[in-house]
């Protein structure tokens, strides 16, 4: 396994276990590398569109489907609460973890609470639709606002 | 991309934000995309789908046209 893959795997393992995106120092300890090497790997993973970083260049904002900050999309799996980046990623969390989940979100217009239960490998029906405001060709113009 | 309770709420939101109404997706379609995109994400060999793979994933979910084409220049 190459170094960047080790770093990526450590990041996702950390999130799955703790619900939090790890700091550079935590990934460095996990893979046994210098923090500077981890920062460089974070930069490469960002350029490959695996991660989205905060402006400081080292804090993970997104490791899709997981969010590094609290959002309106919360996903509870086995009693752990994960933050997701968007509607797609809210369902991406149970898809990635291969687990039942309760997705707590809202109607973007009315702000009415929305709960989607994923059970046995599929979401239970809920009256809702999903709107993508940005065409696929432009998602990475500003991936935080799609 | 956001959840809405109904198409009417989408129309209200688009008017309020002066943005065009785009294609809508059902929960089943979104789940299909979530599985295609993320079910392998925690594996070391996982990678983002390329443009052709993206088109195939969208088509399998019933989503076709330039809006879903990652290389379309229609919206530039």
**DSSP output for A92-112:** HHHHHHTS-EEEEEE-TTT--
Using the Cβ of B74 and the Cβ atoms of chain A, whether some distance falls under 8 Å is answered with yes
- Mean pLDDT for all residues in chain A: 94
End-to-end CA distance of chain B: 19
Contacts of B37 in chain A (CB under 8 A): 65, 88, 92, 95
Measured between alpha carbons, how far is A95 from A118 in angstroms, rounded to an integer? 9
Among residues 5-64 of chain B, which lie with CB inside 8 Å of chain A?
5-7, 9-10, 12-14, 16, 19, 21-31, 33-35, 37-39, 41-42, 44-45, 48, 54, 58
Contact A104, A75 (CB under 8 A): yes
Measured between alpha carbons, how far is A44 from A26 in angstroms, rounded to an integer? 18
Strands B2-4 and A129-131: antiparallel
B50-69 pLDDT, tens digit each: 899 999 999 999 998 889 98
A74-121 pLDDT, tens digit each: 999 999 999 999 999 999 999 999 999 999 999 999 999 999 999 999
A42-75 pLDDT, tens digit each: 999 999 989 999 999 999 999 999 999 999 999 9
Q: Which helix (H) or strand (E) holds A103?
A: strand A101-106
């Amino acid at each position: 396994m190459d170094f960047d893959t080790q770093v990526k795997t450590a990041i996702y393992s950390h999130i799955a276990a703790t619900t939090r995106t790890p700091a550079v120092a935590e990934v460095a300890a996990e893979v046994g590398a210098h923090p500077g090497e981890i920062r460089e790997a974070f930069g490469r993973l960002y350029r490959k569109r695996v991660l989205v970083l905060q402006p400081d260049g080292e804090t993970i904002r997104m490791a899709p489907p997981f969010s590094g900050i609290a959002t309106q999309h919360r996903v509870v799996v086995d009693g752990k609460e994960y933050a997701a980046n968007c509607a797609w990623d809210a369902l991406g969390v149970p898809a990635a973890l291969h687990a039942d989940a309760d997705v707590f979100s809202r109607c973007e217009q009315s702000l009415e609470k929305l709960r989607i239960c994923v059970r046995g490998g599929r979401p239970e029906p809920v009256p809702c639709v999903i709107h993508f405001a940005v065409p696929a060709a432009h998602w990475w113009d500003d991936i935080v606002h799609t | 991309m956001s959840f809405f309770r109904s198409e009417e709420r989408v129309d209200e939101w688009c008017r309020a934000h002066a943005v065009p109404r785009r294609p809508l997706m059902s929960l089943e379609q979104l789940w299909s995309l979530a599985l295609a995109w993320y079910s392998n994400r925690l594996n070391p060999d996982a990678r983002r789908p390329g443009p052709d793979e993206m088109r195939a994933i969208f088509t399998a979910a019933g989503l076709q046209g330039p809006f879903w084409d990652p290389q379309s220049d229609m919206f530039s």
